Amino acid sequence: MDDDDTGSGASPERGRGRSEPARPAPLPGGDAASDDDGGGETLPPPLAGEGLEARGERRLARLLAPAGRATRHMRSFGRWIVLGALIGVAAGVGAIVFYAAIDLCTRLFQGGIAGYMSPGPAGEGRTIVTPATRYWLFPLSTSLGGLVAGALVTRLAPAAEGHGTDAAIATFHEGAGEMDPRIPIVKLVASAITLGSGGSAGREGPTAQISAGFGSLLGRVLRLDVRDRRIAVATGIGAGIGAIFRAPLGGAVLSAELLYRSDVEPDVLAPALVASIVGYTLFAVVFGWTPVFGNQPGLTFNHPLQLLYYAVLGLAVGLVGILYIRVFYGLQGFFARLRLSPYLKPALGGLLVGLIGLVVPQAVGVGYGWVQFLMRPDQTAVPLLVILLLPFLKILTTSLSIGSGGSGGIFGPGLVVGAGVGAGLWGLGHTLLPGMPATPAPFVVVAMMSLFGAVAHAPLAMMLMVGEMTGSYGLLAPAMVTVSIASVVVGDRTIYTSQPATRADSPAHRVGMSFPLLRALRVRDTMAKPRLVLAPDTPLHETRARMEAAGLVEAVVVEADNTLVGLITSRSLARAAGEQGATAGTAAVPTLSIESDETLDTALGLLAHHGVHRLPVVDSDTPLCLAGMLSTADIARAYAAHSGGEARRLGLLTPGTTLRAVTIADGERAAGRAVSDLGLPPHTLIVSIERNGATLIPQGGTVLVAGDALTVLTMPESAAQVDVALRG
């Protein structure tokens, strides 16, 4: 075992894997443990440095300390009512500030430079078109906005570039619920400038990232475990979107549905409902309770022949959705390859958007005001030719605004694109086809639901959200037909590239879905007794002697009442050697811990995330009281014992998957290669490595060596490809 410190730079916390958050540390590729209870451990970095950011988080931690203490002693549902309400407050306040910032930037850029204010929807009280007094300066507004927003993002938080929601989804899956606290602030300012200057983008991405960022911050200051931090981030996504769109139910469902292409996250729904309604209430108190597009009581389905028309609409929406995905990521790739300063790329994108806006102003800005016009019984405000061109031009301007490095959402433009498709088909067919709706509004609303529901793989949430945004659920029946057909056409393509297909494909559920048996086993039934326990006042020379006599490189330090102080390791001993009067207590380092009532899948996920092989176990009923130690080897033994010793015969695996045991021989292809370089087939995962009696949890950088015994989860039809990838 390596003698690195095992700690987090914070006091040990009672809870489900409480610690200061740390970035995942890769397991050493070739270092085996010295015995089956050991393993190379790395030191997780501390929460933050000593600058303003760290001091701000400490102040927030003190402010929220009562809530933190209360939630630790509450069961899951009650705890998440409190945490959901806190996230909802942040979502509502964030949406209010962001909305006000957009309005301010619109007046400064579009109004101040071009003398133009784009129309807004009925729920925002600005449903008139004001001619631009200096329309020729509109490209200057969009260019300047792109330049300023690009500079902010490039200098302060490059991760704030793009459409926000995808980054928040990635934080849930890949980032273990940890987001740089600078991102939400930079995202708010940069997106307000992009939107206010006339860039084609939406409000949902920034709002989602702002709220998700607070969820991540809340997880840090309350020292939530990885699973709960992920839930907090996902809750923030839906709460922010539900607030700014005045669609709390749809926003809550979106929290659970948006994370996957073909699955949902059920644990998110309850806290998201609380957070979304709190955020919506705060936002509505300031900006009014009217739905975004006003109340639309005439949205009804009253003719069976219309189902055929809605089916055609679904086909058209699906095809345009595919175009949206391809053009957006095609232009994003083009700008990524373009040899131009990252400061200038958003300015170039803004210039091109501004030039398009000179000809077709409906294709720039947020665009909800133009959607309101498309719902009217007569389409005189927007010529039919412009309506037919609008979906394609909106896709282009959105791809230029965001794909060039600007900041904003893609949800809002998706609504405008869908509205254009629906209004265009109605305009072409309402005088020719029998049974068509009397006004374009039904086609506009259903197309909005369907296009983004298909490309975001969130059909249920989108139907609910658009229903709330229009004040009517009268079109749910035809919307189900249209959304279903559009989803079939779009297939597995997605506008959010961070979406895995299912929970089984997500790092958030990799262990639990691969080894469902571990969910039934508890830490308290698997943990072992600590091999050496020391009192804090044990002299350093005695500490070293006792560790050497026991052949150990680490020991647990506890108070007289069994309260966990931390771990003392060979490295911390060496550091304390020169200190006057050093003891085991002064040499001990704070450590990650896990509660005894937790399940083994949670424990294994925690070990893998932090790149450590052993955790102290604290009693779930007695705060910080040491109960035992848990290692990856303990988990492996418990798994083998309860599965009859042969994982390949385990009957609890996800249907359609199989576990294979493969031992790497000298000279085979996998020997000496990192896991990430093997080229394994899709839906294949190396879930554990047995090496020299120790169990390793592999990561991408783990290098395989001859003699490694792998447990591989794969699809039956991929077995031959796995053999080729491993053996050559």
Q: What is the DSSP string of 648-681?
A: GG-TTSPTT-EEEEEEPPTTSTTTT-BGGGS-PP
Q: What is the pLDDT of residue 380?
A: 66
Please tell me the predicted confidence (pLDDT) of residue 103: 92
**Structure tokens given for 230:** 């992920």
Query: What type of residue sits at position 51?
Result: G
Strand partners, 335: none
- Cα dihedral sign for 513, 515, 521, 523? negative
Q: State how far the Cα of 193 lies from the Cα of 195, in Å rounded to an integer.
A: 6
pLDDT digits 0-9 by tens, 496-544: 988 988 887 787 776 666 666 777 788 888 888 888 899 988 888 888 8
Question: Can you tell me the distance from the alpha carbon of 242 to that of 104, in angstroms, rounded to the nearest whole number?
Answer: 22
Residues sharing a CB contact under 8 Å with residue 300, sequence separation 6 or more, in sequence order: 442, 474, 475
Instruction: Give burial (CB, 10 Å; 0-12/13-18/19+) of 674.
Output: middle
Measured CA to CA in angstroms, residue 33 lies from 40, 54, 606, 695 at distances of 6, 35, 19, 9
Under a CB-based contact definition with an 8 Å cutoff, are residues 171 and 179 in contact? yes
pLDDT at position 50: 37
H/E stretch holding 617 reads: strand 614-618
- CB-CB contact of 119 with 205 (8 Å): no
CA atoms of 103 and 250, how far apart (whole Å): 25
Handedness of CA 247, 251, 254, 256 (dihedral sign): negative
Extract the tokens encoding 626.
Answer: 């040491």
710 beta partners: 662, 689
What is the token pair recorded at 672?
A: 């000496």
Query: Angle 182-196/76-106 helices, nearest 10 degrees?
Result: 40
Those residues of the chain that have pLDDT short of 70 are: 1-77, 379-380, 510-516, 609-611, 623, 642-659, 693
Task: Report pLDDT for 302.
Answer: 85
Position 178 scores a pLDDT of: 80
**Rounded CA separation 146/141 (Å):** 9
φ, ψ of residue 712 to 5 degrees: the values are -115, 125
Q: How far apart, in whole angstroms, are the C-alpha atoms of residue 258 and residue 248?
A: 15
Closest CA to 512 of 639, 413, 637, 629: 639
Phi/psi-derived region of residue 238, left when phi > 0, alpha when psi is between -120 and 50, beta in every other case: alpha
Distances (CA, A) of 711 to 519, 661, 693, 695, 721: 18, 5, 14, 11, 15
Assess contact for 79 and 71: CB atoms under 8 A.
yes
Alpha-carbon span 539 to 89, nearest angstrom: 50
Q: Which domains does the chain have, with CATH numbers?
A: 1-19+26-45+516-650 (3.10.580.10), 76-289+297-505 (1.10.3080.10), 655-727 (3.30.70.1450)
Beta strands in 447-512 (DSSP E): none
The residue assigned the tokens 């086909």 is: 315
Q: How far apart are CA 74 and CA 83, in angstroms?
A: 11
Say what the alpha-carbon torsion angle 696, 699, 701, 702 is, to the nearest 10 degrees. 20
